[in-house]
Chain A
Amino acid sequence: MKDQLRTSLFHLLIIGLMAGLYFTLPEYHSGVLARAMVLAVYAMGYNLLFGYTGLLSLGHALFFATGMYGLGLAMQHLDVGASTGIVFGLIAALVISTVIGFLALRTTGVAFMIVTLMFAQAGYLIILWMGEYTRGDEGFAIQASERVLAGIDLSQPDNRYFAALVLFGISLLLIGWVVRSGFGKTLVAIRENEERARMLGYNVHRHKWVAVIISGVLSGAAGAAYALLFGYVGATFATVQYSIFPLLYVLLGGAGTTLGPLVGTVFMYYLIDLSSQVTSAYLLIAGVALILLTLFAPQGIIGELRKRVFPWLP
């Protein structure tokens, strides 16, 4: 219990710090952070499955896009408001992750990676195929006038920042609580030694399934929030690239740490941002930085900090 309390207090401190940053950073950077916080929620969902449970998915863009299109299509074609749109996005992500989890978890290891990749490709193709509603590759915009949640205009930068912070904060506290719970510790046990966990009497399959569902719903929540805050729904977000991003964020920030996803996302954002100011070969600089980090900090930024300096980091 003491452990849970300390983790929650630490996370509240981080949330407070992020709130404070809005008032100290120039507008450009707070805009970047708003986007990074939403993508960090996506990475946190990914991290629960990859970092804590040891399941490497290459198809999480499907969950992100499901949340995004669940909200976007409902608002566009059913003429519902933002709050109902969010409900649609979350339910869509819940249903899809439940079904995909059930099917994909019949496999393990490399086969799991391939199966999730294929499901995500199928999802991407379905979005293109249903171009009449989804506008295919081009996507569609959600008008600023519709992006109003409980009377708050989310197209305004300050509102957008704090909406992203609320989502990030809730997700961080939730993840912090999950990974410190008996359930979360069992996920780690499954990651470490699945057969031993089974022979301690744990229903390994059910634990993994629930992990896929929580992971998928968080990713979907991030997708829905992205559409709502930035006003665009497009098939790009369902591509393989968007399945790889959370993996990169988590690896850089620290797999199996609660703050790794945020740190990795922000790091990656600024790495690309800064290097593209210096040269057009910015991906080269980004690549070298990634290789150096992988070589010298294989556990990611927060992972290394936990290993070397702060062993109490959640």
Chain B
Amino acid sequence: MAAITLLSTQGLSKQYAGLTAVNNVNFELPTGQIRALIGPNGAGKSTFVGMLSGRIESTSGSVQFNGKDITRLPAHKRISLGMAYTFQITSIFASLSVHENVALAARRASGRAVNSRVRDALGKVNMADRQHHIASDLSYGHQRLLEIAMGLVQSPSLFILDEPTQGLSSSEIDAFVALIKSIAGDTTVLLIEHNMDVVMATADYITVLNFGEVLAEGTAQEIRNNAKVQSAYLGTSHA
């Protein structure tokens, strides 16, 4: 299968009053791939995906999605082109029911068969029996899964997940890994993740950011053996 690029960036940068959070990142994500984005805290991962989804305005550079330049598009238009995004800090409609949370996501993508799509999406995260619960009554882990269901129900072509397993129990993490594997192929996934077991279990390819720049890219094996990555993570860098 020839790799078709779904998302790419050229020279994407973000400066905050003198601090360069992301510097000149060239990035390519082929359709169907599960890509992990890793790096130490403060490496610019969330800023980078923020610029992909439009939450954060880039200082310079460009973003292409599905062959279209989306650099100037506001976030809601990028999402409606087929991106879904989950926040690093869980962001749901706390006072609404679980069903309505997912239905809101479903209706925006398409008005058809909303209820059955909501049921399917909740089923995928094993929450079908909690449809009528109020979202704020859910445990933290379930709130995270709810947000993932809100992404899934949109049937996105690109699903961006910002540290989705943070705060999940180990059994929930196992279920999450299985879920990501099950949507692979239909959905391209960009996953920011600190849990290396999750990264190794799911990612086809890994991009490592450090100090806002791409430090290395490769398969799990290549990244594991990369000396620069090891020193960045272990703090033995001479730079």
Given contacts A182-B107, A195-B91, contact A200 B150 (CB under 8 A): yes
Chosen A-B contacts, 9 in total, with CB atoms closer than 8 Å, are A189-B93, A192-B94, A193-B94, A199-B53, A199-B91, A200-B104, A201-B79, A201-B108, A201-B109
Contacts of A186 in B (CB 8 A): 104, 107-108
Query: How long is the Cα–Cα vector from A182 to B114 in the complex, in angstroms?
Result: 11
Q: A199–B85 contact, CB under 8 A? A: yes
Whether the Cβ atoms of B104 and A199 lie closer than 8 Å is no
On chain A, the residues within 8 Å of B96 by CB distance are 188-189, 192
CA distance A269 to B116 in the complex (A): 47
Is A29 part of the contact surface with B, judged by Cβ < 8 Å? no
Q: Can you list, as one digit per residue, whether each of B81-110 has a CB less than 8 Å from chain A (1) or not (0)?
A: 000010100011111100010011101110
Extra A-B contacts (16), CB below 8 Å, given A186-B107, A196-B93, A199-B85: A182-B111, A188-B93, A189-B93, A189-B96, A193-B92, A193-B93, A195-B55, A196-B87, A196-B91, A196-B92, A198-B75, A200-B79, A200-B108, A201-B80, A201-B108, A202-B108
| Binding site secondary structure of chain A | helix
The CA-CA distance from A189 to B92 in the complex, in Å, is: 9
- Which positions in A face B, CB cutoff 8 Å? 182, 185-186, 188-189, 192-193, 195-204
B76 beta carbon closer than 8 Å to chain A: yes
Q: Which of A185, A189, A193, A201 has the most CB of B within 10 A?
A: A201
Partner of A203, one of B76, B92, B105: B76
B55 and A185 contacting across the interface, CB-CB below 8 Å: no
**Quick one: CB contact mask for B195-224 with A, threshold 8 Å, 1 for yes?**
000000000000000000000000000000
The chain B residue with its CB closest to the CB of A203 is: B76
Q: Which residue of B87, B92, B107, B150 contacts A185 across the interface (Cβ within 8 Å)?
A: B107
Across the interface, which residues of A come within 8 angstroms of B77, CB to CB?
201, 203
Instruction: Give CA–CA (A186, B76) in the complex, Å.
Output: 13
Closest Cβ of chain B to A198, distance in Å, is: 5
- A262–B237 alpha-carbon span in the complex (Å): 69
Q: Which residues of chain B are near A193, meaning CB under 8 Å?
A: 91-94
Q: Which of these, A189, A195, A203, A204, contacts B104 with CB under 8 Å?
A: A189
Complex-state Cα separation, A200 to B54, whole angstroms: 12
In the complex, are the beta carbons of A201 and B104 less than 8 A apart? no
Check if A199 sits within 8 Å of B92, measured CB to CB: no
Q: Please name all residues of chain B whose beta carbon is closer than 8 Å to the beta carbon of A195 when the two chains form the complex.
A: 55, 91
Residues of B within 8 A of A189 (CB): 93, 96, 104
Establish whether residues A199 and B93, one from each chain, have CB atoms under 8 Å apart when the complex forms: no
Which positions in B face A, CB cutoff 8 Å? Answer: 53, 55, 75-77, 79-80, 85, 87, 91-96, 100, 103-105, 107-109, 111, 150, 154
| Chain B residues closer than 8 Å to A199, beta-carbon distance | 53, 55, 75-76, 79, 85, 87, 91
Q: Is the CB of B79 within 8 A of A197?
A: no
Q: Check if B76 sits within 8 Å of A192, measured CB to CB.
A: no
Q: How far is the CA of A30 from the CA of B103 in the complex (A)?
A: 43
The CA of A188 and the CA of B104, in the complex, are separated in Å by: 10
Chain A: minimal CB distance from B153 (Å) = 10
In the bound complex, CA of A202 to CA of B108 (Å) = 7
Give CA–CA (A199, B75) in the complex, Å: 7
CB distance from B90 to the nearest CB of A (A): 10
A193 to B93 Cα, complex, angstroms: 6
Q: How far is the CB of B147 from chain A (nearest CB, A)?
A: 9
Known: A182-B111, A185-B107, A186-B104. A202 touches B92 (CB 8 A): no
Q: Which residues of B contact A200 (CB under 8 A)?
A: 79, 104-105, 108, 150, 154
Q: How far is the CB of B157 from chain A (nearest CB, A)?
A: 13
A192 to B85, CA, bound (A): 18
Contacts of B93 in A (CB 8 A): 188-189, 192-193, 196
Query: What's the least CB distance linking B103 to chain A, in Å?
Result: 8
CA A202 to CA B94, docked complex, whole Å? 18
In the assembled complex, the Cα of A193 lies from the Cα of B91 at a distance in Å of: 8
Minimum CB–CB distance from B199 to chain A (whole Å) comes to: 24
Report Cα–Cα, A192/B96, bound state, in Å: 8
Bound Cα distance from A181 to B104, whole angstroms? 11
Q: How far in angstroms is the closest Cβ of chain A from B91?
A: 5
Report the separation of the CA atoms of residues A202 and B53 in the bound assembly, to the nearest whole angstrom.
Answer: 13
Cα–Cα, bound, A185→B230 (Å): 49
- Bound-state CA distance A202–B111 (Å) is 13
Report chain A residues within 8 Å CB of B85: 199
Q: How far is the CA of A202 from the CA of B150 in the complex (A)?
A: 14
- Write out the residue numbers on chain A whose beta carbons fall within 8 Å of the beta carbon of B103: 185
Cα of A195 to Cα of B93 in the assembled complex, Å: 10
**Across the A-B interface, the 3 shortest Cβ-Cβ residue pairs:** A201-B79, A201-B80, A192-B93
Nearest chain B CB to A312's CB is how many angstroms away? Answer: 13
- CB-CB under 8 A from A188, the residues of chain B are 93, 96
Q: Identify which of A188, A200, A201, A202 gathers the most chain B CB atoms within 10 Å of its CB.
A: A200
